[in-house]
Amino acid sequence: MKAENVKGNNLLDMINKLFVKVPFVRDGVLVRTDKANNANQCHTNDAFSEKWLAKNQESDDKDEAWKQFQKDWYLKLYGYQSEVKLAKDLQSYRVILDAGCGLGYKAAWFANLAPESLVIAIDFSDAIFQAAHRYQNFSNMIFVKGDIADTGLHDGVIDLISCDQVLHHTESPLLTLMEFARISSEQGKLNTYVYAKKALPRELLDDYFRKASKNMTHEQIWEMSQQLTQLGKNLSELQITFDVPDIPALGIKGGQQDLQRFFYWNFLKCFWNEKMGLDASVSTNFDWYAPSIAFRYDKKKFLDMCQQANWQNEFLHSEKACWSGRFTKSYHGG
Ligand SMILES: C[S@@+](CC[C@H](N)C(=O)[O-])C[C@H]1O[C@@H](n2cnc3c(N)ncnc32)[C@H](O)[C@@H]1O
């Protein structure tokens, strides 16, 4: 670990002040917890280690296109009108936590946009070692392996937590949000996202598959993901649009719909996106079926859960796939 300076502060001094007990360092990563003690979280971590390892082997061009897609989506999910607006927001925080950073490209994006802020990138999967290696030259980033629901950080030390596409993969999203509230400063901010509930047939099938995939090897899940991608591609190439009746009892919404989208949202995840290409589409299907933990929410459940953990909603965005929003820690002044 280098003793660089972030806004006039020595990085090692900052680390000492952030953690209750400073974790040991392995390959540039502060290892807070190496292995989950819960079987489902262990399985989820393995699934992501596998996914990120495969992603890391993609060509730079594909990687850049995917990262750009994700960055543009991030702005939309959290209501930033432009990257400049995001940068302005980030620059107002001293310490930013990217909770569940995967390969760390969003944490690096934040670190670039806010060079005087410290960005902590944390993930429970082995992807964190790849992140630390990729971004080793950033003097305002640190990398932590561990559970975002048990960070080992002091109370009130983080100004912004970005937990993008992660919360629903934690063993107890409520406890994770409570940990976020604990480590956040007064009036601390949170950007977070959860999967939305889909139509009933798709929910039932997803639950069934997610249990079944626990007994499959990663090779088998990759193979299934390729088959599902092919199915999505074939359906999409038919270019059939038809009129769907409303079926409220099953949560199926009516209207003119494309056959592949109708099938996708109501029955079976068979992701295909021509712009993202084959590898990213297969990886998206793998990402859906491989992790054991993937909770889904309706609007009320999502907002109630955040409120229960003392997070007040300031901005809410919804898509068929998800709920996302910006939150401020509620202040209970005495
Ligand atoms: C779908 S990926 C999202 C990664 C990144 N935030 C992004 O937007 O590209 C979910 C990530 O959350 C991580 N994760 C899941 N549960 C976690 C936990 N309890 N603690 C830390 N990381 C966790 C996984 O290892 C995985 O890298």
**Is the pLDDT confidence value at 333 over 60?**
no
> Does the CB atom of residue 179 touch ligand 1 within 6 A?
no
Structure confidence by residue, pLDDT tens digits, 250-276 = 999 999 999 999 999 999 999 999 888
Check residue 334 and give its pLDDT.
42
CB 161 within 8 A of CB 187: no
Which single residue is written with the structure tokens 């005495």?
A: 334
Kindly give the distance from the C-alpha atom of residue 150 to the centroid of ligand 1, in angstroms, as a whole number. 14
Sequence-ordered alpha helix ranges (H) in the chain: 11-18, 39-56, 60-77, 83-91, 105-113, 127-134, 173-183, 200-212, 218-237, 259-266, 277-289, 299-308
Kindly give the distance from the C-alpha atom of residue 260 to the centroid of ligand 1, in angstroms, as a whole number. 28
Would you place residue 59 in the very low, low, confident or very high pLDDT band (cuts 50, 70, 90)? confident
Structure confidence by residue, pLDDT tens digits, 88-136 = 999 999 999 999 999 999 999 999 999 999 999 999 999 999 999 999 9
> Does the CB atom of residue 224 touch ligand 1 within 6 A?
no
Q: How far is CA 26 from CA 30, 104, 168, 241, in A?
A: 6, 17, 28, 54
Q: What is the pTM of this model?
A: 0.94
Q: What is the CA radius of gyration of the chain?
A: 20
Domains of the chain by range and CATH?
Answer: 3-197+298-329 (3.40.50.150), 200-289 (no CATH)
**Is the pLDDT confidence value at 7 over 80?**
no
- Please tell me the residue having the least CA distance from ligand 1 atom 14: 100
> Does the CB atom of residue 100 touch ligand 1 within 6 A?
yes
Kindly give the distance from the C-alpha atom of residue 22 to the centroid of ligand 1, in angstroms, as a whole number. 22
Q: What is the mean pLDDT of the chain?
A: 93
Q: Which of 30, 40, 46, 48 to mutate to test the pocket of ligand 1 (most atoms within 8 A of CB)?
A: 48
